[in-house]
Amino acid sequence: MSKIYKYFGSSVFELVFDKEGFCGVKCSLPKDYNDPYELFLAMDLNVPTEYLAFYNDVIQEMPQFPTSCFSKSPIVSPMWAHYANNHTGFAIEFDLEKLQQHFDGNPFWGVDYREEPHKSLGDIVQRAAELKKPRYTYDLQRFAFSEAYFSKYAQWSYEEELRFVDTTGVTEKAAGNDILYIPMDCLVSVIVGPKSDEQLITSSQKAVEECGLNWYQLVIGKSHPQPYFRSIDGTICTFKDGDVLAHDELCDRCEEPINSGSEMCPLCSITEAHAIEAAAGNPFRLISEAGQLEGYMRSMDAIHRK
């Protein structure tokens, strides 16, 4: 079972679960994307001006379908920072196969990240611009549609994005927004951020209990290289091979996930003897004890400013 994830700010939790039996996901139009250059990623701008003008005219007629963005991962820190309001929000885990079955006929595709336009598009534009036959213009618009909706510059690749595009009119209007109402049986879990307040924690735990979903809180550890999760019963989990799974090896002291087979994580392995030895060998401590650390730092800063 493949999983995908949607990040939210804490203020919309009640709205997301406002319709009984459904999860409401807001959709946006391509013209409102956060990357204004996506439509022109598809096209090599170093082409004859008449070809570029033809392409520009064709994409003006491209349909604006409500679109919602998801991620393949629940541990993308920039996504938690941006879309989940600096880790105070939440994410929802969905069953991708169930989504595709329920919304059959609407693309639920991964985004292709690239540094340059697709090599085939130039030939398609040239043929359509020169021959001016409707079927070639149709081919161009279909190709441009796929590129516009499902390609982004490589600098966005950290998002690991998938997109849903409503080509059949399944979204509904609510307060002026296009909302995709997803049946609850397509949901797997709710994940709250490490900085979530008690209200969100309580509300989300109540919601998952009523709907039979899993609940996790994201944890930013001290030594584990990636965020991990703590379930509602305290089980420690990690994200591996596209799934949130219980992690068997935990530090005996802090219960962070470990992978080395040792009993403690690297930081908890530091003994009092290690700490004493490190402090004794720290030259800043010696300078500070002599009352000269502040002056030393000023002089070093002055050297580096030159």
How far the first Cα of the chain sits from its last, in Å, is: 58
Asked if residue 247 is part of any domain, the answer here is no
Judged on CB neighbours under 10 Å (0-12, 13-18, 19+), 296 is middle
Token pair of 24 as six digits:
């409401």
Helix axes 49-60, 134-150, angle to 10 degrees: 80
Report pLDDT digits (tens) over 252-304: 999 999 977 788 999 999 999 999 999 999 999 989 999 999 999 999 999 98
25 shares a domain with 152: yes
Task: Tell me what the mean pLDDT of segment 106-110 comes to.
Answer: 95
The residue from 157, 186, 215 where one domain ends is 186
Asked if residue 198 is part of any domain, the answer here is no
293 shares a domain with 180: no
Asked if residue 249 is part of any domain, the answer here is no
pLDDT band at 7 (very low <50, low <70, confident <90, very high): very high
pLDDT given for residue 299 in this prediction: 92
pLDDT given for residue 109 in this prediction: 95
pLDDT given for residue 237 in this prediction: 98
Predicted confidence (pLDDT) at residue 164 exceeds the cutoff of 90: yes
Predicted confidence (pLDDT) at residue 46 exceeds the cutoff of 80: no
Asked if residue 251 is part of any domain, the answer here is no
Judged on CB neighbours under 10 Å (0-12, 13-18, 19+), 257 is buried
Asked if residue 69 is part of any domain, the answer here is yes
Predicted confidence (pLDDT) at residue 37 exceeds the cutoff of 60: no
pLDDT given for residue 5 in this prediction: 99
Predicted confidence (pLDDT) at residue 147 exceeds the cutoff of 90: no
Torsion of CA 16, 155, 158, 55, to 10 degrees: 50
31 shares a domain with 134: yes
Predicted confidence (pLDDT) at residue 36 exceeds the cutoff of 70: no
pTM listed for this prediction: 0.88
Domain span including residue 168: 3-186
Token pair of 10 as six digits:
């804490």
**Please, are residues 254 and 268 in contact by the beta-carbon 8 Å criterion?**
yes
Helix axes 121-131, 134-150, angle to 10 degrees: 150
The residue from 151, 186, 221 where one domain ends is 186
Asked if residue 95 is part of any domain, the answer here is yes
165 shares a domain with 280: no
How many independent structural domains does the chain possess?
2
Q: CA-to-CA distance for 255 and 224, rounded, in angstroms?
A: 11
40 shares a domain with 172: yes
Q: CA-to-CA distance for 250 and 228, rounded, in angstroms?
A: 12
156 shares a domain with 12: yes
The residue from 186, 206, 241 where one domain ends is 186
Task: Tell me what the mean pLDDT of segment 199-221 comes to.
Answer: 97
Asked if residue 192 is part of any domain, the answer here is no
DSSP letters for the chain: --EEEEEE-GGGHHHHT-STTEEEEEEB-GGG-S-TTHHHHTS-SSS-HHHHHHHHHHHHT-----EEEEES-S--HHHHHHTTTTTTSEEEEEEHHHHHHHTTTS-EEEPEEESS--TTHHHHHHHHHHH--HHHHHHHHHHHHHHHHHEEEGGGGGG-EEEEE-SS---EEETTEEEEEEEGGGEEEEEE-TT--HHHHHHHHHHHHHHT-EEEEEE--SS-SS-EEEETT--EEEEETTEEEE-S-B-TTT--B--SS-SS-TTTT--HHHHHHHHHT-HHHHHHHTT-HHHHHHHHHHHHH-
Asked if residue 41 is part of any domain, the answer here is yes
Among 51, 167, 34, which Cα is nearest to 117's? 51
286 shares a domain with 156: no
67 shares a domain with 164: yes
pLDDT band at 40 (very low <50, low <70, confident <90, very high): low
Percent of the chain clearing pLDDT 90 (strictly above)? 74
Q: CA-to-CA distance for 107 and 149, rounded, in angstroms?
A: 10
Q: CA-to-CA distance for 11 and 6, rounded, in angstroms?
A: 15
Report pLDDT digits (tens) over 51-100: 888 988 888 878 889 999 999 999 999 999 999 999 999 999 999 999 99
Q: CA-to-CA distance for 217 and 93, rounded, in angstroms?
A: 13
284 shares a domain with 182: no
